[in-house]
Chains A and B, each alone.
Chain A
Amino acid sequence: MVESAPVVELAPVVELVETQASPAVGRLGAVGEWAGTLSLDVARRNGRSIAVRQHHDGALRILRPHYLDESGQVCYVVINPGGAYLGGDRYLIELDVAPGADLLLTTQSATKIYRTPNDRAEQHMRISLGAGSRLELLPDPLIAYREASYGQVTCVDMDPTASLVMAEVVTPGWSPDGGYFRYDEIRLRNEISIGGRLTVLDNLLIRPGSGSPVDGSAFMGACTHLGSLLVVDARVNSTLADDLHALLAPKDDGGRLGVTLLDGPGLALRALSRSTEQLNAMLGAAVDLLRKRWHGQEPLNLRKY
């Protein structure tokens, strides 16, 4: 079988699922091959969530935990001291959220992908969510620069009673000529299994200027920035989807907002725009609505420094 262009193939779905069962990193690659790894187990202790095990290696670090409110939700901030992902870099982040624990994971700054001349940069995340646990995965935007190729694979295995909210904003970096959209390829793949059954396979490919009709309406139209939000939670229903749509539609100036119900139950939200700010505002409003409705929490205010 002839494989497509990238030199390093992301591991096939079936293999990724199989490796989740074993403690070894397995076929995703030997530990020594990672440019950075981060592993975090979060559990609930005395009413507050906290890391009960954490490990990092290479170019990934994590800041000390903090608590944004009295809910007991712990917030961890991932940092990449190198400041960017380079060609051939492969990063692994593993999260285990124990039953009843509550984790907000974010980043200190945007994830920047620079030129990857020979080999794309990759980030693999493996996430396990126990019964009644919650994960909000709210990274800063991904910025891909000229001639960058990037693959991101996030595999979530969650209990049916767990709650998952994950957001993503993808933006093109500026080229020296002042233009946008010069990266080669971005792949974002999210595999969400509930009780071991694959329920959501979110597989986006953005490949500007490669002969495909990428500027056509089916890809980005006249837009340059992509926002995405996935919510998998037993409380999602059509009323919530309608409420989110009503909240966000006025913020969508280009008419490029889609909200749909997933099996799960869950929902997916996609938006296209010409600015990071607009997408951050839309996704932020959606996250805040969920925080208030389900958890009685105040709007999120990540004090980053």
Chain B
Amino acid sequence: MPAMPAAAPTYLLPLLQLSDSALPTGAFSHSLGLETSLHRGEVRDEATFADWLTQFIRIQLVHSDGLAIRLACEADTPAELFRVDRELHASALPREIREAGVKMGARMLDIALAVAPSPELQCYADAVASGDCAGHPALAYAVAGKSLGVPLAELLASYLFSAATSLTQNAIRGIPLGQNAGQRVLAAAHREVRDAVVRVQTLGREDFGVTAPGLEIAQMQHERQRARMFMS
């Protein structure tokens, strides 16, 4: 008897669409502190960018975006989700990082509502529209993915890798770096993202929003940088 042809899970294509680094959320104009490190000469080539990206994944993407996605998936009520939104917004001390979250969050919500509408996503969008929530791309992504039934590890891995890809595209333009060098950095980031997916699932609530002083200062200093390619 011939085997049943396997179908792709229904969530796969919406997930691919939402995690496409070309998704028009404005990520191409946010360096999230990278530009300060470029300006200081700390990031100047493939190796130094790969190091920066590793640190960024381990600190910001794991403790803020990644843990936010997990907590959103664990939220049983809208109130719990709104609390995650509030903590995520409040934990971004550098003004440009807060603003980046709000701007990209609004775009991600619009797109996700078009790609994968659900009552949960509409509820979050309404809370953002009313000002009860600030909005953040990680949370819009998480709510959409939860409604689609995406397993947590896949939801985390696709979001984190998409964020790493956007930052790498920005580094290719900003350093500048060759396209092949960018792809090598991304391939090397596979392991870092896989580790991050596991790490996010072992963290406690007290780890939410944890940041590191050097990264935070770079993100603050960007506000006063004169010649800038990026909004953050």
Residues of A within 8 A of B213 (CB): 204, 206, 219-220, 226, 270, 272
The residue of chain A having its C-beta at the shortest distance from the C-beta of B134 within the complex is A263
Residue B214, interface by CB 8 Å: yes
Residue A21, interface by CB 8 Å: no
Is there an interface contact between A219 and B214, defined as CB atoms closer than 8 Å? Answer: yes
Is there an interface contact between A245 and B54, defined as CB atoms closer than 8 Å? Answer: no
CB 8 Å contact bits of B183-210 with A (1 = contact, 0 = none): 0000000000000000001111111111
Is there an interface contact between B37 and A270, defined as CB atoms closer than 8 Å? Answer: no
With A198-B87, A218-B55, A226-B213 as known contacts, state yes or no: A4 contacts B207, CB within 8 Å.
yes
Is there an interface contact between B206 and A187, defined as CB atoms closer than 8 Å? Answer: yes
Is there an interface contact between A218 and B59, defined as CB atoms closer than 8 Å? Answer: yes
Q: Name which of B63, B212, B224 has the most chain A CB atoms within 10 A of its CB.
A: B212
Is there an interface contact between A268 and B93, defined as CB atoms closer than 8 Å? Answer: yes
* Main SS at interface, chain B: helix
Residue A195, interface by CB 8 Å: no
Residues of B within 8 A of A226 (CB): 213
How far, in angstroms, from A202 to B59 measured CA to CA in the complex? 14
Residue B90, interface by CB 8 Å: yes
Is there an interface contact between A258 and B87, defined as CB atoms closer than 8 Å? Answer: no
Residue B181, interface by CB 8 Å: no
Residue B111, interface by CB 8 Å: no
Which size bracket describes the interface of A in this complex?
35 or more
Is there an interface contact between A216 and B87, defined as CB atoms closer than 8 Å? Answer: no
Residues of A within 8 A of B205 (CB): 9, 12-13
How far, in angstroms, from A200 to B91 measured CA to CA in the complex? 6
Q: Contacting A218 at CB < 8 Å: which of B93, B95, B215?
A: B215
Residue A24, interface by CB 8 Å: no
Q: Contacting B55 at CB < 8 Å: which of A199, A206, A213?
A: A213
The residue of chain A having its C-beta at the shortest distance from the C-beta of B199 within the complex is A4
How far, in angstroms, from A226 to B216 measured CA to CA in the complex? 12
How far, in angstroms, from A12 to B95 measured CA to CA in the complex? 25
Residue A55, interface by CB 8 Å: no
Residue A257, interface by CB 8 Å: yes
Residues of B within 8 A of A204 (CB): 210-213, 216
Is there an interface contact between A260 and B90, defined as CB atoms closer than 8 Å? Answer: no
The residue of chain B having its C-beta at the shortest distance from the C-beta of A258 within the complex is B220
Q: Contacting B202 at CB < 8 Å: which of A2, A205, A259?
A: A2
Is there an interface contact between B210 and A256, defined as CB atoms closer than 8 Å? Answer: no
Q: In the complex, which residues 46-71 of chain B have their Cβ closer than 8 Å to any Cβ of chain A?
A: 51-52, 54-56, 58-59, 63
Residue A248, interface by CB 8 Å: no
With A245-B224, A258-B94, A263-B98 as known contacts, state yes or no: A216 contacts B214, CB within 8 Å.
yes
With A217-B42, A218-B59, A219-B212 as known contacts, state yes or no: A272 contacts B93, CB within 8 Å.
no
Q: Smallest CB–CB gap between A254 and chain B, Å?
A: 10
Is there an interface contact between A256 and B217, defined as CB atoms closer than 8 Å? Answer: yes
Q: Contacting A199 at CB < 8 Å: which of B40, B52, B90?
A: B90
Residue B103, interface by CB 8 Å: no
With A4-B204, A4-B207, A270-B213 as known contacts, state yes or no: A262 contacts B93, CB within 8 Å.
yes
Residue B221, interface by CB 8 Å: yes
Is there an interface contact between A3 and B204, defined as CB atoms closer than 8 Å? Answer: yes
Residue B169, interface by CB 8 Å: no
Residue B83, interface by CB 8 Å: yes
Residues of B within 8 A of A189 (CB): 206
The residue of chain B having its C-beta at the shortest distance from the C-beta of A17 within the complex is B83
Q: Contacting B217 at CB < 8 Å: which of A4, A13, A258?
A: A258
Residues of A within 8 A of B94 (CB): 258, 260
Is there an interface contact between A198 and B202, defined as CB atoms closer than 8 Å? Answer: no
Residue A83, interface by CB 8 Å: no
Q: Contacting A272 at CB < 8 Å: which of B207, B217, B224?
A: B217
Is there an interface contact between A200 and B51, defined as CB atoms closer than 8 Å? Answer: no
Q: Smallest CB–CB gap between A220 and chain B, Å?
A: 6
Residue A19, interface by CB 8 Å: no
Q: Name which of B54, B58, B204 has the most chain A CB atoms within 10 A of its CB.
A: B204
Residue A29, interface by CB 8 Å: no
Residue A30, interface by CB 8 Å: no
Residues of B within 8 A of A12 (CB): 205-206
How far, in angstroms, from A184 to B97 measured CA to CA in the complex? 29
How far, in angstroms, from A80 to B215 measured CA to CA in the complex? 34
How far, in angstroms, from A36 to B73 measured CA to CA in the complex? 39
Residue A201, interface by CB 8 Å: yes
Q: Smallest CB–CB gap between A111 and chain B, Å?
A: 19
Would you list 15 pairs from A and B whose C-beta atoms are within 8 A, ordered by A residue? Answer: A2-B202, A3-B202, A13-B83, A14-B83, A199-B90, A201-B87, A203-B206, A204-B213, A216-B55, A218-B59, A218-B214, A219-B214, A220-B212, A258-B94, A260-B220
B: residues with CB less than 8 A from A are: 37, 40, 42, 51-52, 54-56, 58-59, 63, 83, 86-87, 90-91, 93-96, 98, 201-221, 223-224
Q: A4-B204, A203-B63, A219-B213 are in contact. List 13 more A-B contacts (CB 8 A).
A: A3-B202, A203-B211, A206-B213, A213-B51, A217-B55, A217-B215, A221-B214, A258-B221, A260-B219, A262-B93, A262-B95, A270-B216, A272-B213
